[in-house]
Structure 1
Amino acid sequence: MSRLTMVPVGKEALRQRRRQALLRLAALMLLLAVAAAGLWWMKDRITGYLVKVTVELQAAKMGQLAETRELPGWVIRDERIVHASMAGHVQRLVKDGDRVRVGAPVVRLKGLSPVGEEMGSYQDLPSPRAGLIVYRLDGLEEVLNPRVLDELSTEQLNTLAERPQEIPPDGLAQAGQGLFKVIDNVEKAYFLTHYDVKDLGEPLVPSRRLTLALNAAGPNFYGKVLQVRGTDDVWAVIQLVNPPAEVFKRRQLPLQIVDKIHKGILLSKDTLIERNGEKGVWLAVKNRAEWRPIQVKATIGDQVIIDGVAEGELVVQNPALLREGQEIK
């Protein structure tokens, strides 16, 4: 029986095998380094491309934020309802909220026969006065009226509730049904508010002048307290001075009593970033990202007033992917 005999490997052969192993390892390391460099290069290119595609810029603008207290209530304005003179389909000739002159046609009624079929006749209903056209009737037009402001009883105040009604375009109106109302947005408007003194923080008193707004960003307008009923559970009437048109278009809304106003560059809080404990924003300067330290003067909700950026400079609105010098288009 033959026997296999193990022959020791020579020293030269061992050295050769070690050199080959080291060469394979070096080649593998080089390949990994090249791949990593390629991935890093690609990462920068992809990130740069994504930034150029997704970056959002907005020119810095002056604005304001106000420290406010909410004042819920109802708007009282001089308004007149126009009723259908006959049964018919309603065609709107004016957009909701538009201002018209006296005599301007607002709605066209297409007459119906006794069996409900549309006839060829039609009638245009004009605006009886100049003002804002509103198609939604809320049922409070006769109750919350400046002419009966002093006659409102506590019982009426405690049962105030809207009963909305609106005939849609091409809807069917019955004779005598309210079609639209015309709101005089030139004459005085009033605001009826109901509040608890402890919720408001500071009571209203007759003749007090108030700075008001629809929200913290303005615009501001003014009011004068005319009447106050009650001590803890309070009803008050405020005369509004030059309110924005949005106030006339709505019946029930919260106004804001403005206690303090901060003015400066108005930005979204999302535009701010922090570097080394310092707040700042990214700007687009000559198509490159440039970080600019800023001072926050006021923060209200999701908006801030800042110093450190000039009006008109381009502020990056989504700064998450940016780095210094990043190309921006």
Structure 2
Amino acid sequence: MSERLDRLAKQKKQKRLILKLLFVLVLISAMLAVAAAYRAVTGKLSVMRMEVEESKEGVLEETLTGTAMVVQEETVLRSPADGRFENLVREKERVRRGAILGRLYTESGTESYDVTAPIAGVVLYQTDGLETVMVPSKLGDLHPQMFAYSIHVVRGVENLLHKGDAFAKIVNNLKPTGLVVKTEDTADPLADGQEVGVRYKNLDLGTARVISIERGNDYTLVGLIMSGFVMEVADRRSIPVELVIRRYEGIIVPTRALTTKAGRLGVYCLRKETVVFKEVQLVARKAGHSVVRGLDAGEYVVTTPDLVKEGMVMRR
């Protein structure tokens, strides 16, 4: 009888042990299932939140902005008598020395004077009083006072003139245009003799050479000689400009795509839905974009690198 009771007790104990083992196995299976589901959900969320952009060939520029005073060789024409001037030559037209520009008629109308060009150049029927101040020799003698002058443009055509009044000027178009640029950037990105690009209202004016630099506490003055005469600004004195200091050509990607892995700079790319890490070399960065080496144009770059890791399969 006692043997039978012992056997039953052992069977009950074994059943309880088996039930405990089954419970543990079920619990482990449930935990694994939850973990797998979590990975699947987070993976899908990562795919949904992941952003990708195609890399492209392009150029980033290092620029300076400022105000420029136009410096040219200008010869002022003055009225030979009281009267009104009527032009025969259009403004900005090139003329030879001695060409008749127009006639000055006295108020009585009984007399008229031929007005001829004292030199060859481009005709402008306006003056601003700075023709003898903004001369090419000033490009090597920079001073902030150059930007304190009051510019008062006077049109000479058909206005009543008094003897000696300035009413027109001839700009020597055989001499290159000069610019004195004032910028609030006090850094040191420029050097004498450096070639820079010049833009005015998104218009490319060409290249210029730095011939002088003057640095103050809160400004920098730069004297520039353009590569030639610039007709587009011949009738201007003060203009906003953008100087292109350096150009960086290469593959452009969003700067936020750059990341590091094991101390190496690179980006995550998509290759047939698989995330791969590609090491790159940074050339330059500006305004949220970077020029890099080590990528090809047309590669799909992940711009949210914190959401991915190498080897992930990104199925949408």
TM-score range relative to shorter protein: 0.5 to 0.7
Whole-Å Cα distance in 2 between the matches of residues 157 and 242 of structure 1? 23
Question: Which 5+ residue runs of structure 1 have no aligned equivalent?
Answer: 1-63, 263-329
Q: What residue in structure 1 maps to residue 112 of structure 2?
A: 122
* Larger-Rg structure: 2
CA contact 1:96–1:133 (8 Å) conserved in 2? yes
Whole-Å Cα distance in 2 between the matches of residues 247 and 220 of structure 1? 9
CA contact 2:64–2:243 (8 Å) conserved in 1? yes
1:215 to partner: Cα distance: 4.3
Q: SS where residue 147 of structure 1 aligns?
A: helix
Alignment-mate amino acid for residue 70 of structure 2: V
Q: 1:104 aligns with which of 80, 96, 99?
A: 99
Compared CA separation, residues 129 and 196, structure 1 to 2 (3 A): same
Whole-Å Cα distance in 2 between the matches of residues 193 and 165 of structure 1? 24
Q: What residue in structure 1 maps to residue 179 of structure 2?
A: 191
1:123 to partner: Cα distance: 0.8
CA contact 2:154–2:167 (8 Å) conserved in 1? no
Whole-Å Cα distance in 2 between the matches of residues 148 and 246 of structure 1? 21
Where do 1:63-82 residues align within 5 Å? 67=61, 68-82=63-77
Whole-Å Cα distance in 1 between the matches of residues 82 and 188 of structure 2? 52
Alignment-mate amino acid for residue 69 of structure 2: W
1:90 to partner: Cα distance: 1.2
Where do 1:6-85 residues align within 5 Å? 67=61, 68-85=63-80
Whole-Å Cα distance in 1 between the matches of residues 60 and 163 of structure 2? 49
1:261 to partner: Cα distance: 8.5
Q: Deviations over 1:157-180 (max 9, x none)?
A: 25222122122x332111000120
Q: In percent, how many aligned pairs have the same letter?
A: 22
CA RMSD of aligned residues (A): 3.0
Q: 1:253 aligns with which of 229, 232, 239?
A: 239
Q: 2:155 aligns with which of 166, 170, 174?
A: 166
Q: Does 1:222 align with 2:207?
A: yes
Whole-Å Cα distance in 2 between the matches of residues 248 and 66 of structure 1? 30
Whole-Å Cα distance in 1 between the matches of residues 181 and 93 of structure 2? 27
Q: SS where residue 249 of structure 1 aligns?
A: coil
CA contact 1:77–1:184 (8 Å) conserved in 2? yes
1:151 to partner: Cα distance: 5.0
1:101 to partner: Cα distance: 1.2
Whole-Å Cα distance in 2 between the matches of residues 187 and 133 of structure 1? 15
Q: SS where residue 106 of structure 2 aligns?
A: strand
Compared CA separation, residues 105 and 99, structure 1 to 2 (3 A): same
Alignment-mate amino acid for residue 119 of structure 2: R
1:148 to partner: Cα distance: 4.5
Whole-Å Cα distance in 1 between the matches of residues 239 and 147 of structure 2? 17
Q: TM-score, normalised by structure 1?
A: 0.52
Whole-Å Cα distance in 2 between the matches of residues 151 and 213 of structure 1? 24
Q: Deviations over 1:120-139 (max 9, x none)?
A: x2111101111111111111
1:184 to partner: Cα distance: 0.7
Whole-Å Cα distance in 1 between the matches of residues 198 and 142 of structure 2? 24
Q: Does 1:139 align with 2:134?
A: no
Q: SS where residue 118 of structure 1 aligns?
A: coil
Whole-Å Cα distance in 2 between the matches of residues 138 and 65 of structure 1? 39
Q: What residue in structure 2 maps to residue 240 of structure 1?
A: 226
Q: SS where residue 255 of structure 1 aligns?
A: strand
Whole-Å Cα distance in 1 between the matches of residues 86 and 155 of structure 2? 13
Question: Which 5+ residue runs of structure 2 have no aligned equivalent?
Answer: 1-57, 250-316
Compared CA separation, residues 231 and 206, structure 1 to 2 (3 A): farther
1:212 to partner: Cα distance: 1.9
CA contact 1:83–1:177 (8 Å) conserved in 2? yes
Q: TM-score, normalised by structure 2?
A: 0.54
Compared CA separation, residues 93 and 192, structure 1 to 2 (3 A): same
Q: SS where residue 154 of structure 2 aligns?
A: coil
Whole-Å Cα distance in 1 between the matches of residues 193 and 178 of structure 2? 14
